[in-house]
Amino acid sequence: MLLQNKQIAIVGGGPGGLTLARLLKQTGASVTVYERDRNRHERVQGGTLDLHDESGLAALRAAGLLDEFKARYRPGADKLRLTDEHATVVLDEHAASATFGDAAFRPEIDRGPLRDILLDSLATDTVVWDSQLASMQPVGAGWQLTFRSGATATADIVIGADGANSRIRPLLTPSRPFYSGVTVVEGTVYDAAHNAPRIHELLQGGKIFALADAKTLVVSAKGDGSLNFYTGCKTAETWARDSGINFSDAAQVRAWFRQAFAGWDDIWQELFAHETTHCVARPQYCMPLDQTWPAQPNLTLLGDAAHLMPPYAGEGVNMAMLDALELSNCLTSEAFRSVQAAIAHYETQMRERASAVAGDTMAQTEALHAPGALAYLAGLFSGDETTG
């Protein structure tokens, strides 16, 4: 077995890193996950995630966690309403029915419960909290990891699952992501039934995509009664910094939204009506579609660290979990004579797959922030891609 007597370090305890830990632990591998959060409850996990049968759900099946997922997912949260800027519904999926086993079924789960499923599947000492990586240096045939807390660790193999700002990626490649042209402003409204009642009613526990004026607004209901939203606008790469907006100040964000989304129905003002609404501006980036690097004998990447892309195709978490499944399969396969050969095979197929998805995602991002986006997306969901 390639991993016999080897200590594996996974840097990053998101869905991809935790899925990989679970899959490798099932084979008896020695795995430790290093996560920057101080504990599992430190951060409120973000919005909802839709898992796809061929990727996210496939990884959960292999991990033996599909039953736990079925007990925790949110039926109906995948249902979409597509609207114009006046909140007029032009497509409604709430009458449609699909279930597990249907290739098109994409069940939704909040990030927090998904993380809990994965964490609860691991021994309590698998994840070392408060471990934000500061640096990493070769030591012998392996690596020494140094964390901001001052702690250190060694490992024979390191997998970077540390997201968009990965500190491990530069050890493999100097290539950097490029700006997609779109900046998202993301926020959460707590107790949506009370604080955003009209939007809460329009959501019906699912999702809203509102498109007009080459702008997007995506709203998702969450299981705790809150809603998560993000706007999408074409801006300069440095707009969030240059705008002078304090995105923690609901009044400033509300003033920006009224100007940027002038002509949109006042229903959307509910998103910014309360001082508890905290927003973050996120310029959207994408890794180069033609990226490559030579395979190393003891180091690789998965998820956003490997192939960051905008969220508009809903592939991010699914790609990360599929990375975990494929990397686990390669590292535990008898078909490879060395860890480097297993990593090389994984990275080749991962980059090819990610490049195709990133290309589609960038095309989708452009189409959704262009004139005629509403008709385009309505056609896409109805199966008539020539619409618009």
Sheet holding 80-83, edge to edge: 89-92, 80-83, 207-212, 215-221, 227-234, 178-189, 278-286
Is 50 known as a binding-site position?
yes
What lies within 8 Å, CB to CB, of 18 at 6+ separation is 33, 115, 118, 119, 122, 127
Query: Is the alpha carbon torsion for 360, 319, 48, 94 positive or negative?
Result: positive
The secondary structure element, H or E, covering residue 221 is: strand 215-221
Q: How far is it, in rounded angstroms, from Cα 19 to Cα 124?
A: 15
Is 353 known as a binding-site position?
no
What lies within 8 Å, CB to CB, of 115 at 6+ separation is 13, 14, 15, 18, 40, 45
* Contact (Cβ atoms closer than 8 angstroms) between residue 274 and residue 189: yes
* Contact (Cβ atoms closer than 8 angstroms) between residue 29 and residue 174: no
CA atoms lying within 13 Å on the CB side of residue 95: 2
* Contact (Cβ atoms closer than 8 angstroms) between residue 34 and residue 131: yes
Phi, psi values for residue 285, rounded to 5°: -120, 165
Alpha helices in 123-232 (DSSP H): 192-195, 197-203
The 3-state DSSP class for residue 146 equals strand
Phi, psi values for residue 359, rounded to 5°: -60, -45
Q: Using the 8-state DSSP alphabet, how is residue 347 labeled?
A: H
Is 43 known as a binding-site position?
yes
Tokens 């074409």 belong to 234
Q: How far is it, in rounded angstroms, from Cα 91 to Cα 105?
A: 17
DSSP output for 332-360: T-TT-SSHHHHHHHHHHHHHHHHHHHHHH
Residue list, annotated binding site for FAD: 50, 111, 304
Instruction: List binding-site positions.
Output: 43, 50, 111, 304
Detail the residues annotated as belonging to a binding site for NADPH.
Answer: 43
